[in-house]
């Protein structure tokens, strides 16, 4: 398995990592088998989150006795100092470890949220303290917003950034180059576009061909998926002309109704976070996390059910997506 250095952390991580969100769908014994199989195939980077229900706990059981073989990353949506401090303690217990290699501020989407987490009583201060106490090794940043990605890279506060990147979502590519120049590790989430791309090996090959990407973290919930994904990390051949043609076809096909979460459609007069609606729908339809997605759909407050079809979003979308029809579909699926 090819290894790349994860920016300032200095950690050598497998170019194909293990995305922990779908572990919620398997039992403890299957999770153990999957994590052991991944380790045997050379995968050594695993990513989870406080919001992924039992994922951290399953990883803790699954990697027991093999702590030195894994670079463990997790993340929290906590915004305040106290909430983040509690989440770090909780994660340490779930993983059954005394340190976590990478702890990330999760899904910071707006300037207001950024100011909150970086403020005097914000979550970042709690992570700095945890780092000084040896509870975490490094601090990272995740977002779906390209402007927040740029801000995180330019700030100099983070060792890694995590952002969506795949055949149809490449809005972060130029900033990945900037991150590498600043010695910031780049972790790619949504490598299969949230399950919209069914040609997994091709999708991963496209991503790892980018030298500015450190590791891609496809979600996996079966031994077969682990074997297929790990095989990509051992390939050395560049994409063929036929594969590039296929990639273009996939991008064109998804382009008609696929939200890239660029955020240009906002702000919505009704206060709907439009891109989050499509993200949650993807978890519902393609990740088979129906209850989890519905809970978060309700929790965001304003959702697709509040759309009055004013149409102000559609002229601002650079991909000419039929946003009103897409929100109606979200409402039918998740309401």
What confidence tens digit (pLDDT) does each residue in 151-161 have? Answer: 999 999 999 99
More confident residue, 122 or 319: 122
Q: What's the rounded Cα separation, in Å, for the pair 147 and 171?
A: 10
Q: Which residue has the tokens 């576009």?
A: 193
pLDDT of residue 325: 92
Determine the Cα angle at 45 with ends 41 and 50, to 5°.
130
User: Secondary structure of 167-227 in the HEC alphabet?
Assistant: CCCCCCHHHHHHHHHCCCEEEEECCCCCCCCCCHHHHHHHHHCCCCCCEECCECCCHHHHH
pLDDT higher for 290 or 3? 3
% of the chain at pLDDT higher than 70: 100
The predicted pLDDT at position 237 comes to 87
Give this prediction's pTM: 0.85
Of residues 11, 16, 26, the one with CA closest to residue 62: 26
Q: What percent of the chain shows pLDDT beyond 90?
A: 70
Mean per-residue pLDDT for 14-18? 97
Could you tell me which residue, 199 or 81, shows the higher pLDDT?
Answer: 81
Q: How confident is the model at residue 287 (pLDDT cuts 50, 70, 90)?
A: confident
Instruction: List 47's β-bridge partners, or say none.
Output: 19, 73
Give the Cα separation of 220 and 226 in Å (integer): 7
Name the residue with higher pLDDT: 314 or 254.
314
pLDDT of residue 75: 96
Measured distance CA(96)–CA(93) in Å, rounded: 5
For 59, the enclosing helix (H) or strand (E) is helix 55-62
Taking residues 296-302, report their average pLDDT: 90
Question: Considering only the top CATH level, what class is 3-240?
Answer: alpha beta
Asked whether the CA dihedral 83, 70, 194, 240 is positive or negative, the reply is positive
The confidence score (pLDDT) of residue 251 equals 84
Q: State yes or no: pLDDT of 195 exceeds 80.
A: no
Give the pLDDT score at 58. 94
> Tell me, what's the pLDDT at 197?
83
Residue 255 has pLDDT above 80, yes or no: no
Mean pLDDT, range 324-332, rounded to an integer: 93
Mean pLDDT of the chain: 92
């Amino acid at each position: 398995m090819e290894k790349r250095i994860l920016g300032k952390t200095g950690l050598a991580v497998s170019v194909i990592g293990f995305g922990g969100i779908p572990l919620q769908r398997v039992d403890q014994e299957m999770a153990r088998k999957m994590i052991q199989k991944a380790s045997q195939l050379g995968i050594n980077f695993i990513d989870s989150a406080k919001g992924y229900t039992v994922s951290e706990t399953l990883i803790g059981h699954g990697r027991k006795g093999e702590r030195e073989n894994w670079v463990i990353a997790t993340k929290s949506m906590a915004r305040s100092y106290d909430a983040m401090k509690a989440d770090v303690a909780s994660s340490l217990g779930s993983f059954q470890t005394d340190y976590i290699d990478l702890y990330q501020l999760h899904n910071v989407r707006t300037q207001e949220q950024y100011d909150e987490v970086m403020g005097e009583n914000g979550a970042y201060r709690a992570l700095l303290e945890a780092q000084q106490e040896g509870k975490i090794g490094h601090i990272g940043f995740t977002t779906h917003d390209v402007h927040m990605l740029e801000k995180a890279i330019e700030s100099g506060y983070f060792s890694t950034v995590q952002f969506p990147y795949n055949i149809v979502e490449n809005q972060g590519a130029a900033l990945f180059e900037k991150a590498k120049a600043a010695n910031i590790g780049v972790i790619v989430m949504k490598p299969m576009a949230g399950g919209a791309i069914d040609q997994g090996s091709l999708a991963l090959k496209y991503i790892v061909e980018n030298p500015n990407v450190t590791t891609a973290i496809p979600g996996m919930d079966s031994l077969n998926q682990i074997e297929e994904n790990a095989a990509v990390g051992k390939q050395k051949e560049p994409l063929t002309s036929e594969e590039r043609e296929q990639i273009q076809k996939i991008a064109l096909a998804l382009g008609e109704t696929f939200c890239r979460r660029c955020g240009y459609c906002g702000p919505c007069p009704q206060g709907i976070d439009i891109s989050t609606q499509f993200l949650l729908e993807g978890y519902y339809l393609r990740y088979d996390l129906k209850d989890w997605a519905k809970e978060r759909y309700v929790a965001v407050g304003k959702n697709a059910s509040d759309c009055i079809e004013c149409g102000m979003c559609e002229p601002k979308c650079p991909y000419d997506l039929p946003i009103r029809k897409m929100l109606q579909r979200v409402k039918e699926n998740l309401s």
